[in-house]
Amino acid sequence: MSGLRQLEKPPRRRPRWSRRWALIAAVPLLIAGLTGVARADDDAVVNGCVTSVPDPGTTAPVSICYTVFRPPGASADKPVPLIFDSHGWGGSRATSASAFADFLGAGFGVLSFDQRGFGQSGGQAQLENPDYEGQDVQRLVDLIAGLDWVAKQAPGDPVLGAMGGSYGGGYQFVGAFSELRDRGKTRFDALAPQITWYDLAGSLAPQGVPRSEWPLLLYLAGIPSTANPPVVTTGLLESLATGNFPDSLAAFMAHNGPQWNAGQGRRLDIPVLFGQGITDNLFPLEQGLKNFQNALTPRARAQSIFVGYNGGHTLPSVFPPGSPGAVDVFSSAQAAGDPCSAELGGGDFRKLSLRFFTEQLLGKPTGLGGQGVYHLATLGGRCQTVGSTAASTAIPVGTVSSPVGLGLPQSVPVARGPVTIAGTPTLDADVTSTSPDGRLFMALSVGTSALDAKIVQNNMLPLRQLGGTEQRSGVELPSVAVDVPAGQTLFLTVSPISDLSFAHGSRIPGIMTLRNTVVRLPVVR
């Protein structure tokens, strides 16, 4: 969801603000009826806005502004598929054809748009709500369906794909799922979302424990465009004061993601290329895995590709210390960050996306394989392909006891190397807390001893126990992909404090004890 330039670098560099505003000044938007259009001299780049539904509690229609790029040779006699693109949180659309030179050169049209609350679009962000952003996307699809140079499967049904990362992945799901809800079928034919969420509230506050650094950074990123709605402002203040994720925010986000649609029985029956950051500690790997497993029909999964890489929304884990080498996939460290895209598509995720859309939308075979399984980058930069990410090997580790509220992390040995783990580990235990709201932060770590063990791929998840004793089964630990070499050990690290959830540990100190603890690992055989 983050569009912060220093935290999440997009696949293509957006034009600088000065350049964007210069373009806006030179080519003003004309808003009239459903669409307003301002044309470039050669008609290959068109700017405009569609009129969409008002914000909640208001009556004024909201303008959603876009730029359409027509590739050379596209015409009513030679129509081409089109791909939507949109920005991360705090960003805005691309208005220069150079941003999509590779897709335009391959014969795709592109529509890039400012999401509600950002750029030139009006309104306030509703965080990808199907009744608001979902309607915005549908209005844009209607617009594209009326262009004679865009290929159609039927009247009103364009040949259509979508790409974008973070919040730019969220629009893809809200658009496709809102059409499935409202029309019985989506007009999107293929998607390529990156580093986006399955459960928005569960990402920002797993088990109701806020990831304090990320909500604050995201809120600050929304201030310049006044995108933050009032409920987000009050909710953030409440979470900082109480250490809990407010019910008001949970209700506001209840429908805003694939999890809600899956709970309503909806599944997308189209191929999807997933790119998910394994070192992402805002929308972690498990969010992408759940999208692949729960948001698609079995037929769609068999046609889809899942790629996990070391990158995404990556803040360092300082306490407890995280693994070195957890890089942003869009940095210069492409080879170490995203080996699976290189193996599958011959380059980075952008090139893999182009091959994917070439096959799915143009119908041109490229020899692309890897459908129906998971391709995960290990921390060391190797691509591990697995057919399942479920925990399969149970290892008893006995009793683990830790202070909550204050104290130091501790690491308990689980398995000696060499061993490869790829997927979602889980934990079973009888959990007791002397604090009325006990909170421990847990993760797998690797080191030669408990003293030098580092959190794998910089992500922790809370274990929350509201006093007393409870038998817990299937508690998820952060999903990982790691080769534990000979001479090193895989540990279970538990800590009363995690810097990513700063000030959101237990407010009342106490002791949490895990008895009869069993760690279940997705061991690669």
CATH number assigned to the domain comprising residue 451: 2.60.120
Beta-bridge partners for 113: 66, 86
Q: What is the pTM of this model?
A: 0.89
Predicted pLDDT at 474: 95
Q: Tell me if 300 is assigned to some domain.
A: yes
Give yes or no: residues 288 and 408 share one domain. no
Contact 422, 374 (CB under 8 A): yes
Bridge-based pairing of strands 160-165 and 82-86 is parallel
State residue 176's pLDDT score. Answer: 98
The whole-number pLDDT of residue 34 equals 35
> Tokens representing 78?
């030679």
Q: Are the C-beta atoms of 132 and 53 separated by less than 8 Å?
A: yes
Same domain, 359 and 239: yes
Is residue 144 situated within a structural domain? yes
| Residue 521: strand pairing partners | 393
- Strand segments, DSSP code E, in 9-154 are 35-39, 45-52, 62-69, 82-86, 109-113, 152-154
Cα atoms in the 13 Å half-sphere on the side-chain side of 257: 24
**Count of the separate structural domains present in the chain:** 2
Enclosing domain of residue 192: 17-386
Strand partners, 165: 194
In DSSP terms, 469 is beta-bridged to 432
**434 with 317, same domain?**
no
Q: What angle do CA 5, 176, 282 make, to 5 degrees?
A: 35
Among residues 333, 360, 386, which one ends one of the domains? 386
Residue 6 covered by a domain: no
Residue 28's Cβ-side half-sphere holds a number of Cα atoms within 13 Å equal to 3
pLDDT recorded at residue 506 = 86
Q: Is 12 a domain residue?
A: no
Beta strands in 197-319 (DSSP E): 273-277, 305-309
pLDDT, residue 40, reads 38
- Cβ burial of 293 (10 Å; 0-12, 13-18, 19+) is middle
Segments of the chain scoring below 70 in pLDDT: 1-42, 324-336
Q: Domain boundary residue among 386, 404, 427?
A: 386
Of 386, 401, 424, the last residue of a domain is 386
22: left (phi over 0), alpha (psi -120 to 50) or beta: alpha
Is 7 part of any domain? no
The pLDDT tens digits of the residues spanning 308-323 come to 999 999 887 888 888 7
CA 106 from centroid of its chain's CA atoms = 27
In 3D space, the residue among 252, 254, 258 whose CA is nearest the CA of residue 236 turns out to be 252
The pLDDT score that the predictor gives to residue 42 is: 56
**Which three-class secondary structure state does DSSP give residue 470?**
strand
Could you tell me if residue 70 is inside a domain? yes
Give the per-residue pLDDT at 332. 31
Q: Does residue 320 have a cis bond before it (omega within 30 degrees)?
A: yes
Structural contact between residues 267 and 295, judged by C-beta atoms closer than 8 angstroms: yes
- Helix, strand or coil for residue 38? strand
What CATH code is carried by the domain that includes residue 92?
A: 3.40.50.1820
Q: What are the E-state strand segments in 208-289?
A: 273-277
Residues, the chain: 525
